[in-house]
């Protein structure tokens, strides 16, 4: 008798927070799984991804320090592997899309190392980047235009100045830490009116602020700033 | 008696082609609309977006020449405005996401100019960029990593060489025209094994080719190449 084959692990992007932006395939995978898991950040009251799932979700505490992606992947793998080894299908929820600033890749790598027989499936989702653009009524790129996506924790003013000259659209994620120098930089470059601050797109807490004016929550970790040459299409 | 208010125009991203990657909100908007419209390229047999919709769709011929975005927006607006002015809600379908290489922004601008009272709503979708990454089992970015998205029709070898040095991940859309110089460039830079060619992600015609080897359809207009420093997470 051969041992029971392991279950499938599916990474599902639940989108930016609006349950309506979950995909049909994502919803089906969540409903069919033996168990659904999601990361829970220590500094947050609950998982947005779990709230979208509409069924019980096992929340795994996640290390939120910078560079902790590989460690988080190991921790999630340890929590999920018993279900998979027992033959149960598991779903791992990520906010936005699993391929863009998610720990899904680290988790998949950790599972592949520990139990190579586990089938791995990725169900893409609506990313926070395009959801923010949609909330602002903004086109990121059309035709031959170009887009750069960078985390605000990574870049400095000189790098952003270079990107602004090089790309049609620059998306700065995790923008909170960059705001103190980003606003004067954009003003000095004459680009402030082409910039929009967006946080929590697609949720009741959504905020869209053109010109980065009158921000309600300038310290929101998940806020982004989008700067598009020429602003909106007219 | 006041005139009847115009209907709402909603741009819906249907995702990369798999009907399962349509969002719940997108499906609801399609079902509720008085009429659903989609662009039809002259050189294609039918609209992928229309195939996902699962209801009758009015296909509007689209000018596919480079730089025709604004003209396409005007043409679509002319076709859709009668429905809106009669008070009917209309949906305009775009492949992938409406904010990323779609004519939705041009259409919205044209409608805003001609009939400012029309409410405009954007329902984001799964973009071809993250769907391609998911198909390849690839993480675009995690932690402090960076992503550049450029059309292959826009960049040349020198620009791509610069982007490869500057960004963790470079996504080259419409890669068909770039392949003749892109492959030797990646080989010379020692980056060919970190590059993956993806076309029609999420459809039966999906193709994923690491190292850009043995391509089945190198001339596919909608193919993309993703180059990630270090390749997949391990």
In the prediction, which pLDDT does A57 show?
Answer: 95
Report yes or no: A195 and A210 within 8 Å, Cβ to Cβ.
Answer: yes
In terms of Cβ atoms closer than 10 Å to its own Cβ (0-12, 13-18, 19+), residue A215 is middle
In the prediction, which pLDDT does B68 show?
Answer: 78
Report yes or no: B191 and B165 within 8 Å, Cβ to Cβ.
Answer: no
In the prediction, which pLDDT does B47 show?
Answer: 77
- CA pair distance A176, A72, nearest whole angstrom: 23
**pLDDT at B1 > cutoff 60:** no
Of the listed ranges A68-82, A129-143, A188-202, A220-234, the least confidently predicted one is A220-234
DSSP assignments along B151-191, one per residue? ETTT--HHHHHHHHHH-SEEEEESGGGGHHHHHHHHHHTT-
Among all residues of chain A, which has the CA nearest to that of B52?
A24
Query: What mean pLDDT value characterizes chain B?
Result: 91
User: Chain B partners of A67 at a C-beta cutoff of 8 Å?
Assistant: 143-144
Report yes or no: A159 and A208 within 8 Å, Cβ to Cβ.
Answer: no
In the prediction, which pLDDT does A66 show?
Answer: 59
Compute φ and ψ for A149, nearest 5 degrees.
-120, 120
- Which of A104, A137, A146 has the CB atom closest to B122's CB atom? A137
What SS3 class is residue A198? Answer: strand
Right CATH number for B128-228 from 3.30.950.10, 1.20.272.10, 3.40.50.1360, 3.40.50.2300?
A: 3.30.950.10
Q: Hey, are the CB atoms on B124 and A21 less than 8 Å from each other?
A: yes
Q: Which of the pair, A1 or B219, is modelled with greater confidence?
A: B219
Q: Hey, are the CB atoms on B139 and A21 less than 8 Å from each other?
A: no
**pLDDT at A122 > cutoff 80:** yes
Report yes or no: A125 and A97 within 8 Å, Cβ to Cβ.
Answer: yes
Compute φ and ψ for B40, nearest 5 degrees.
-125, 120
- CA pair distance A104, A117, nearest whole angstrom: 18
pLDDT tens digits, B11-61: 999 999 999 999 999 999 999 999 999 998 665 566 788 888 989 999 998
- CA pair distance B192, B186, nearest whole angstrom: 5
pLDDT tens digits, A158-170: 999 999 999 999 9
**pLDDT at A2 > cutoff 70:** no
- CA pair distance B230, B203, nearest whole angstrom: 27
In the prediction, which pLDDT does A51 show?
Answer: 86
What integer is the mean pLDDT of B123-148? 95
In the prediction, which pLDDT does B220 show?
Answer: 86
ipTM: 0.92
User: Chain B partners of A109 at a C-beta cutoff of 8 Å?
Assistant: 232-234
pLDDT tens digits, B63-103: 766 567 888 999 999 999 999 999 999 999 999 999 999 99
**pLDDT at A232 > cutoff 80:** no
Q: Which long-range contacts (CB under 8 A, 24 or more apart) does B210-215 make?
A: B210/B136, B212/B179, B212/B182, B212/B183, B212/B186, B215/B179
- CA pair distance A48, A12, nearest whole angstrom: 13
Chain B contact for A231 (CB, 8 A cutoff): no
- Kindly indicate the confidence band of residue A143, based on its pLDDT and cuts at 50, 70 and 90: confident
Report yes or no: A222 and A228 within 8 Å, Cβ to Cβ.
Answer: no
User: Chain B partners of A149 at a C-beta cutoff of 8 Å?
Assistant: 141, 146-149
**pLDDT at A9 > cutoff 60:** yes
- CA pair distance A70, A2, nearest whole angstrom: 33
Q: Hey, are the CB atoms on B137 and A154 less than 8 Å from each other?
A: no
**pLDDT at A154 > cutoff 90:** no
CA angle B75, B77, B83 (to 5 degrees): 125
Closest-CA residue to A96 (of A75, A120, A123): A123
Compute φ and ψ for B227, nearest 5 degrees.
-120, 115
- CA pair distance A47, A60, nearest whole angstrom: 10
Chain B contact for A169 (CB, 8 A cutoff): no
| Alpha helices, H only, chain B | 24-32, 48-53, 69-85, 104-114, 128-135, 157-166, 179-188
In the prediction, which pLDDT does A173 show?
Answer: 94
Residues 149-168 of B with CB under 8 A from A: 149-151, 153-155, 167
pLDDT tens digits, B139-171: 999 988 999 999 998 889 999 999 999 999 999
Which pTM was predicted?
0.93
Superfamily of domain A9-123: Tetrapyrrole methylase, N-terminal domain (3.40.1010.10)
Chain B contact for A190 (CB, 8 A cutoff): no
Domain extents in chain B: 9-123, 128-228
Query: What mean pLDDT value characterizes chain A?
Result: 92
User: Chain A partners of B94 at a C-beta cutoff of 8 Å?
Assistant: none
**pLDDT at A40 > cutoff 90:** no
Closest-CA residue to B130 (of A13, A134, A160): A13
Among all residues of chain A, which has the CA nearest to that of B147?
A149
**pLDDT at A96 > cutoff 80:** yes
The structure tokens listed for B54 are: 């699962």
Residues 78-97 of A with CB under 8 A from B: 97
β-strand B224-228 against B169-173: which pairing, if any? Answer: antiparallel
The structure tokens listed for B49 are: 């977006």
């Amino acid at each position: 008798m051969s041992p029971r084959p392991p279950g499938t692990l599916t990474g599902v992007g639940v989108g930016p927070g609006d349950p309506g932006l979950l995909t049909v395939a994502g919803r089906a995978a969540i409903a069919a799984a033996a168990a659904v898991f999601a990361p829970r950040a220590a500094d947050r009251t609950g998982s947005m991804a779990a709230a979208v799932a509409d069924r019980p979700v096992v929340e795994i505490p996640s290390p939120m320090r910078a560079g902790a992606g590989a460690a988080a992947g190991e921790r999630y793998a340890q929590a999920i592997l018993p279900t998979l080894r027992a033959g149960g299908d598991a779903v791992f929820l990520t906010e936005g899309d699993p391929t863009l600033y998610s720990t899904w890749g680290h988790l998949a790598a950790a599972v592949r190392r520990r139990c190579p027989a586990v089938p791995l499936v990725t169900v893409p989702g609506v990313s926070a980047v395009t959801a923010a653009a949609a909330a602002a009524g903004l086109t990121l790129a059309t035709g031959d235009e170009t887009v750069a996506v960078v985390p605000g924790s990574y870049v400095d003013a000189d790098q952003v100045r270079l990107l602004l000259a090089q790309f049609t659209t620059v998306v700065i994620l995790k923008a909170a830490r960059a705001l103190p120098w980003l606003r004067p930089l954009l003003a000095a470059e004459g680009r402030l009116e082409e910039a929009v601050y967006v946080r929590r797109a697609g949720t009741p807490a959504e905020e869209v602020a053109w010109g980065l004016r009158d921000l309600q929550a300038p310290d929101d970790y998940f806020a982004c700033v989008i700067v598009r040459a020429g602003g909106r299409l007219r």
